[in-house]
Amino acid sequence: MTTAAADAALSNNAAVTSGAQVANSADPMVPRRYAIRRVRQDTRDTFTLLLDPVDGEPLTFRAGQFTMLHAFGVGEVPISISGDPTAVQGDGGSAPLEHTIRNVGAVTRALVNAEPGTEVGVRGPFGTSWDVADATGNDVVFVTGGIGLAPLRPAILEVIAERDRYGKVLLLYGSRTPDDILYGAEMRRWADLNDVNVQMTVDNAPYGYKGKVGFVTELIARAGFQPRRSYAFVCGPGMMMLSAATALTGRGVPPERIRLSMERSMKCGIGLCGHCQLRELFICVDGPVLDFARVKPLMTVREL
Amino acid sequence: MDDIRILDPADIGTLIAHLRERGYRVVGPTRRGDAIVTGEIRSVLDLPHGIGDTQVPASYRLTERKDDALFGFAAPAQSTKPVFFPANEVVWRGRRDHEQGGHFTVERDTPDASPVALLGVRSCDLRAVQIHDHVLSGRRYKDAHYTARRDGTLVIAVACGEPADTCFCASMGTGPRPAATNNETGEPAYDLLLTEVVNAEVLNTEVMNTESPDEASHHFVVEIGTDAGREIVDAIEAKAGTGRDQARAVEITDAAAARQTRHIDRKSVHDVLRVSAESPRWEDVANRCLACTNCTMVCPTCFCTTVSDASDLTGEKAERHRVWDSCFSAEFSYVHGGPTRESTKARYRQWITHKLSSWEDQFGMLGCVGCGRCITWCPAGIDITEEAAALGRMSGLGSTTSAATT
């Protein structure tokens, strides 16, 4: 195929993959090209990639969805979108597509070390949403730690964009050390300007640290919200989510109103490769966001 | 009954030539080394003549038959799975231009377009194709290559008269005679169905006494499933048969069903596995399972894949491949930090639970067709029917009659 023909095939693909019509795409296994606008270093090992589409419309997504990010010739990884879903839909596409990733493997290393202008492949968006609007009129509790804040950021931005539609909004955030805190300045802004009750804790602190030390799940017991009139959105490692969800139900939050973002191995993102199965669930299409009532029995069986 | 035709062994050659003339790539059972596999059939000589097989747990041997049967064996070593769903295929090829700051283009790979005629596909494997149609091509996201390859497939099925010791299709409701229509879609399951009538030995004496010498010779009873199938038997001028021919065909598969000794109780098995996640049986089977992945490689319904990226030395050209994967490997469930299913018992539990339970929740059907390949090709001889029966007994939910007889 000539380059022109390849471009035609791509723009054809791009036309259908933009927006929520991925299902109609001829082949959802073929990526769209995005150029790196900038790579922002957030912490020692965590970076945010800001991407612009090379051809076609910007990608619209729902908070909680992920894409398959491809580093040319290296490989592909599932990464939650961490940007603002309303910004992309709003003004026709000046906002870049954002992914916050930890540099832990070959693909993520290639992505975070790429120069601005380098093209990467993007498939998606895939998966279910946090659907925070369901919490309208209720208190909202976000519980997360480390890079788990990245998949929740779009949901938090949706809530503060219509802040007066919600009751109390809490963000309980845990981090390994004070240096590993992600989006620190932004969390302070949410607290100062958007009436978000941000509570932080760290696992390990240097001598003289004045903040809280301990696990994020310990914050749940004393946090000020009305459990029976609350929705909770939790993102973190499996054991952390199980213990957070257990603490939340312990305070009286109904399990159907606790949403978790599940992580499994994923190779396709579209329910075909089989890797992400959790008993009958394909986490990539039935999830990643699932309610605790649904997944609790599956989280308590080891190695399921 | 309906429209029954008769083909002689020589007519099979005519049929193959006719299909090839029509532009079909004819695919069917053929001998390769000491196994029968699925491959391209260019003439009747490519079909196995007078070859049978003996399959028991952990053993597969070809045998010489006393007759000239063309389909006188049980499940071939590999099903038709790779015909539509190859073990390794290119999804797309890409080229990067270093001069232009990492600009790259991708080109989707398109599979071979010629339609396939499946010749001699058994009911177990035919059911597996129906299952794959749903899994890979009947949901929101489709495997584009599978869907393209399946387009225009002609199915000439064979009703199985020679089940192996490892077969249990009768208990799964998938054979040895294929249902005329696909349960889920209501579409015809085959264009033509052949039943091979080998010689007088397979017939009961009553039939023997009443039939002409011609009826006792080696021939094929043909049942017509679609207009396309009828057009083909008309074109090769197949002789007309009678209701009695069809009755004999049914008798052959009834006898084949009756000879099967292995069973899975498909009514209870979903619930048995649903409640067995913490069963002590997993420890037991894990002590035997080598996690070699053989069962998943020969299973006609296993569809898990991974992707692998290959680039040339300059890093300018890259290919993305989709390759079969197996839930028995440690890498399968790997996420940063380690595999989700570290132990063999967790991996065996995942495989059998998926086949016999969660598959039904996902797709509204079971994921096992009873072909017995996982039993034959397991180097440790682990028997899915025996494991299902043991879990049934231990859970108290299994049918008391479902135990394997070995």
Rounded Cα gap, residues A5 and B114, in angstroms: 23
Domain's final residue, options A77, A94, A126 = A126
Q: Which residues of A touch B277 (CB under 8 A)?
A: 301, 304
Please state the domain count of chain A.
2
In a domain, A267, yes or no: no
Rounded Cα gap, residues A150 and A130, in angstroms: 13
In a domain, A101, yes or no: yes
Q: Are residues A210 and A100 in the same domain?
A: no
Q: Are residues A203 and A115 in the same domain?
A: no
Rounded Cα gap, residues A52 and B149, in angstroms: 35
Return all residues near A142 (Cβ < 8 A) that are at least 6 apart: A152, A155, A156, A169, A170, A171, A172, A173, A232, A233, A234
Residue A2 in this model has a pLDDT that exceeds 50:
no
In a domain, A303, yes or no: no
List A residues 247-276 in contact with B (Cβ-Cβ < 8 A): 263-265, 267-268, 270-275
Q: Are residues A120 and A140 in the same domain?
A: no
Q: Are residues A116 and A153 in the same domain?
A: no
Q: Residue A303 is nearest to which of B103, B306, B343, comparing CB atoms?
A: B343
Give the residue among B179, B183, B181 at the shortest CA–CA distance from B159. B179
Q: Residue B106 is nearest to which of A31, A264, A273, comparing CB atoms?
A: A31
CA B142 to chain A, closest CA, distance in angstroms equals 8
CA A167 to chain B, closest CA, distance in angstroms equals 37
* CATH number of domain containing A224: 3.40.50.80
Q: Are residues A78 and A15 in the same domain?
A: yes
**pLDDT-wise least confident of A22-31, A104-113, B370-379:** A22-31
Q: Are residues A175 and A94 in the same domain?
A: no
Rounded Cα gap, residues A278 and B354, in angstroms: 10
Neighbour count for residue B199 (Cβ, 10 Å): 14
Give the residue among B64, B55, B33, B10 at the shortest CA–CA distance from B298. B55
Domain's final residue, options A92, A126, A160 = A126
Rounded Cα gap, residues A271 and B243, in angstroms: 46
Q: Phi, psi at residue B154, to the nearest 5°?
A: -105, 135
Q: Are residues A102 and A206 in the same domain?
A: no
Bond before B339 cis per omega within 30 degrees: no
Contact A7 B105 (CB under 8 A): yes
pLDDT at A1: 33
CA A9 to chain B, closest CA, distance in angstroms equals 8
Q: What is the pLDDT along chain B (406 residues), one digit of tens a residue?
A: 468 999 999 999 999 999 999 999 999 999 999 999 999 999 999 999 999 999 999 999 999 999 999 999 999 999 999 999 999 999 999 988 766 667 888 888 887 778 999 999 999 999 999 999 999 999 999 999 999 999 999 999 999 999 999 999 999 999 999 999 998 899 999 999 999 999 655 444 444 444 455 566 899 999 999 999 999 999 999 999 999 999 999 999 999 999 999 999 999 999 999 999 999 999 999 999 999 999 999 999 999 999 998 888 887 888 999 999 999 999 999 998 889 999 999 999 999 999 999 999 999 999 999 999 999 999 999 999 999 999 999 999 987 554 444 3
In a domain, A95, yes or no: yes
Q: Are residues A174 and A234 in the same domain?
A: yes
pLDDT at A7: 36
Q: Which residues of B touch A294 (CB under 8 A)?
A: none
Residue A25 in this model has a pLDDT that exceeds 70:
no
* CATH number of domain containing A50: 2.40.30.10
pLDDT at B96: 84
In a domain, A225, yes or no: yes
List A residues 84-143 in contact with B (Cβ-Cβ < 8 A): 102, 104-105, 114-115, 117-119, 121
CA B131 to chain centre: 10
A230 band by pLDDT with thresholds 50, 70 and 90: very high
Name the residue of chain B whose CA is nearest to A9's CA. B107
To 5 degrees, how large is the angle CA A27–CA A33–CA A37?
155
Burial class of A265 by CB neighbour count within 10 A (0 to 12, 13 to 18, 19+): buried
Q: Are residues A168 and A216 in the same domain?
A: yes
Mean pLDDT value across residues A278-285: 97
In a domain, A60, yes or no: yes
Rounded Cα gap, residues B385 and B388, in angstroms: 5
Q: Which amino acid is at A128?
A: T
pLDDT at A5: 37
Q: Are residues A137 and A246 in the same domain?
A: yes
CA A55 to chain B, closest CA, distance in angstroms equals 11
Q: Are residues A53 and A170 in the same domain?
A: no
pLDDT at B100: 65
Domain's final residue, options A102, A126, A150 = A126
Give the residue among B292, B309, B318 at the shortest CA–CA distance from B380. B292
Range of the domain at A192: 132-261
**pLDDT-wise least confident of A89-98, A105-114, A257-266, B5-14:** A89-98
Q: Are residues A21 and A44 in the same domain?
A: yes
Q: Residue A271 is nearest to which of B107, B141, B341, comparing CB atoms?
A: B141
pLDDT at A23: 34
Return all residues near B237 (Cβ < 8 A) that are at least 6 apart: none
Q: Which residues pair with B157 in a beta bridge?
A: B121, B193
Q: Which residues pair with B154 in a beta bridge?
A: B117
pLDDT at B69: 96
In a domain, A114, yes or no: yes
In a domain, A19, yes or no: yes
Contact A267 B354 (CB under 8 A): no
What is the per-residue pLDDT across A170-212, written as a single tens digit (0 to 9) for each? 999 999 999 999 999 999 999 999 999 999 999 999 999 999 9
